[in-house]
Structures are given as structure tokens and as C-alpha cells.
Amino acid sequence: MYNEPMLRDGALKNKTILVTGGGTGLGRSMSKYFLELGANVIISSRKLNVIEATAKELEQETGGKVLAVVCDVRKYEEVEAVIAKGYETFGSIDGLVNNAAGNFISPTERLSNKAFDIIVDIVLKGTYNCTLALGKKWIADKQKASILNIVTTYSWTGSGYVVPSACAKAGVLALTKSLASEWSKYGIRSNAIAPGPFPTQGAFSRLFPENLAKIIDPLERIPLKRYGEHQELANLAAYLISDYASFVNGEVVTIDGGEWIYGAGEFNAFDKVPAPMWDEIEKFVRGKKQE
Ligand code: HXC
Ligand code: NAP
């Protein structure tokens, strides 16, 4: 495990970055690192008390400037209001991290249509609302900028039991790649990160609840046998949003300790074979060749 901050001091100086869902979990951790690197950060979510408390803590911890504005990303007018407040406070916004999300596990047939809507609206509509509102402003102002979307590895593969999230994150993946092409002529880059499991209260309480632990151990699926560290994700996010990544556009970086590829590899479960058993297996398999 390597948990050191990655970029040089001041790497994000003179940048202002909007992080949706920045009051908790990975959004908070990314915001903290952006501040340590010299950026101003705007955090937004539905809960004023949460983002205000986080803003205060982050300012104390980093000495940076944080603006906390309530915004439900599903509501376009609220998104426009956050952006206006951000420009009023900092004079500019240079980066957008579409991090806000909603998710929970459920067999799909148990979902109400409202439950399906709520996840898709937060994740997909929320992401395109923020992207569209800021993108219009950037294009009108001829301002170069960077968008970073937080997706998942099941954006490609789909996944049972989180189907609304899978549908929405697949949409966000399509948005990332589409705009990387269309908006690059305006100097707007668009990239994404696909994290595997990183412990956060928000995700783990809804996706890996304690009463499931007896039958499912998420660590078994990860060949590195550990969860991600928030600094590891923050390092990647800071790089992708920064000018160091000026030629990285339309990329989605998976950071999952090999979980996805491990699950896909036909024979990877052979890890379970005890080492001494390989002598016996080899003898048996070689024996077959002679038959
Ligand atoms: C079935 C459920 C449900 C459940 C809610 N609903 N929880 N249905 N099983 N466990 C239904 C409700 O009954 C209701 O439908 C509808 O969903 C809306 O629920 P509300 O509770 O009214 O909504 P709200 O209070 O706005 O909460 C939204 C939420 C909640 C999405 C349901 O979980 C939330 O606030 N989440 C935000 C944070 C979050 O989810 N973080 C995790 C991201 S992790 P009816 O029809 O009854 O009215 C992630 C990473 C995944 O995305 C990858 C990991 C490896
Ligand atoms: P989290 O702490 O629950 O973060 C989700 C944030 O989204 C919360 O701050 C929440 O704040 C905000 N949010 C939810 N609905 C919103 C809305 N309508 N408008 C504005 N903000 C809203 O969970 P997390 O684990 O850090 O997840 C962060 C991101 O990482 C998500 O995109 C998630 O899909 C992704 N991810 C996480 C993992 C993981 O293992 N943790 C793995 C893969 C991907 P409010 O409730 O105050 O609105």
C-alpha cells in the first residue's frame, strides 16, 4: 500500500474545482487533496449541515478556501445557482468532479418505479445537469476546463442487484467519451475514474451491509486482498483534473486492485488450489496426454 500524496505542492494553484457530493466519502477526500494542492473548492450536496461542517473542517485542515452550497443535482436551476455562486466567490471554475451518487442493493423486481428513478436521476441526470450548465458557460467564455466523472467498473459490464446504478453509470461513461470528442475543440477535457471498493459510510452501509458479511466477503474478489485507500483515489483524481493530464482525454481509469479483471479471468479461481496439490494435478494432467 502506498499512501503518499503524489503531485507537487501548488499543482492546482489558481484552479477552482466544483465537487458534487463533496461533503462526504470520496468527494470529501478528493476535495481535501485538491485544497492541499492549492485549489479553491466548491462542495455541494442536499444536506447543508453536512457540507458546512465539512467545509469548516477542510479549511482548518488545509488552510484552503471552501465554498459550500446546497444543491440537488437533479434540479437544473439549483445547479445553475451553485455555478453562479462559485463564479461570484472565486471569479472562475476550472474543473468539475461529478461525484454525487445514490445507490443501494436490491433485486430489481423489488424496486418501485420511483426507486429506479431516484438513482438514475441523481447519477445520470445529476451528472449531465452539472456538465451542461458548466459546459455552456465555459464555451461562452472560451475557457479551458476539465471534467472528471466518477463511474464504476460495472458501467461496462452491468451488475445485478444495483441495476439502476449500472444503467446510470453506463450513461455517464457514454457522456464522458462523447464529450471528450465533441468538446475538445473548446479545450474541455472529459475523463473518468472507475473505482473498485473504497470504504465509505455512504457506499458500504448500502452495498455491503453487516448482515451480509456472513455470506459475502467483498475482499475475496480483489486479488490484492485489500480495499482502496482514499489517498490513492485522490492522487489519480488530482492528476486527471490537473494540467499534467492535458493530453489525457476520453480516458477511464480503473482503480480496483485488479478486481474486475480477476473476476473475468476464466481460471483465476484456481488461486484456491493449495500449492502442494499442484504436484498431484500436474501428474494427472500429464498422464492424460499419454492415454
Ligand atoms: C428498495 C428502496 C430502498 C431499498 C429506498 N428505496 N431504499 N427500495 N430497497 N433499500 C426506495 C424508497 O422506498 C422510495 O420509493 C425511493 O427509493 C426513494 O427513497 P427515499 O428514501 O424517499 O429517497 P431519499 O431520501 O432521497 O434517498 C435517496 C437514496 C439514499 C438514493 C435512496 O440511499 C441516498 O440518499 N443515497 C445517497 C448516498 C449514496 O447512495 N451513496 C452510495 C454511493 S455508492 P417509494 O416508491 O417507496 O416511494 C456507489 C458505488 C457503487 O454508487 C460501487 C461500489 C463498488
Ligand atoms: P457517499 O459518501 O454516499 O457520496 C455520495 C454523495 O452524493 C453524498 O455526499 C451525497 O450527499 C451526494 N448526493 C446524493 N444525492 C445527491 C443529490 N441529489 N444532489 C447532490 N448531491 C447528492 O459515497 P461515496 O462512496 O463517497 O461515493 C462517491 C462516488 O464514488 C459516487 O459517484 C459513487 O458511485 C462512486 N463510487 C464509490 C465506490 C466506493 O466503493 N465507495 C466505488 C465505486 C464508485 P447528500 O446526501 O447530502 O446529498
Of 72, 99, 118, which is best to mutate to test ligand 1, by the most ligand atoms within 8 angstroms of its C-beta? 118
Residue 1 confidence class, pLDDT cut points 50, 70, 90: confident
Cβ atoms of residues 228 and 195 within 8 Å: yes
Q: How far is the CA of 99 from the centre of ligand 2 (A)?
A: 6
Task: Quote the mean pLDDT of the chain.
Answer: 97
Sequence-distant (6+) residues with CB within 8 A of 111 are: 163, 164
Q: Where are the alpha helices (DSSP H) in 121-200?
A: 126-141, 154-157, 163-182
* Residues near ligand 2 (Cβ within 6 A): 20-21, 23-27, 45-47, 50, 71-74, 99-102, 122, 126, 150, 152, 195, 197-198, 200, 202-203
Q: Which atom of ligand 1 lies at the shortest distance from residue 162's CA?
A: 51
List the grid coordinates of 131: 456538465
Q: How far is the CA of 115 from the centre of ligand 1 (A)?
A: 7
Q: What does the pLDDT read at residue 281? A: 96
Residue 235 burial (CB count, 10 A): 20
Given the residues 76, 87, 154, 239, the one annotated as active site: 154
Of 18, 19, 20, 24, which is best to mutate to test ligand 2, by the most ligand atoms within 8 angstroms of its C-beta? 24
The three-point CA angle 172-173-179 to 5° equals: 85
Q: What is the pLDDT of residues 169-212, one digit of tens each?
A: 999 999 999 999 999 999 999 999 999 999 999 999 999 999 99
In 3D, which of 39, 46, 124, 121 has the Cα closest to residue 86? Answer: 39
Q: How far is the CA of 281 from the centre of ligand 2 (A)?
A: 47
Statement: residue 288 has pLDDT above 90: no
Q: What is the pLDDT of residues 252-283, one digit of tens each?
A: 999 999 999 999 999 999 999 999 999 999 99
Superfamily of domain 16-290, CATH level 4: NAD(P)-binding Rossmann-like Domain (3.40.50.720)
Residue 291 confidence class, pLDDT cut points 50, 70, 90: low
Q: What does the pLDDT read at residue 290? A: 66
3-state helix, strand, coil in the chain (%, to 5): 55, 15, 35
Of 119, 151, 206, 255, which is best to mutate to test ligand 1, by the most ligand atoms within 8 angstroms of its C-beta? 206
Is residue 154 part of the annotated active site? The answer reads yes
Alpha-carbon span 24 to 16, nearest angstrom: 19
Q: What is the pLDDT of residues 28-69, one digit of tens each?
A: 999 999 999 999 999 999 999 999 999 999 999 999 999 999
Cβ atoms of residues 19 and 41 within 8 Å: yes
In 3D, which of 184, 152, 193 has the Cα closest to residue 249? Answer: 184
| Single-letter residue type at 113 | N
Q: What does the pLDDT read at residue 2? A: 82
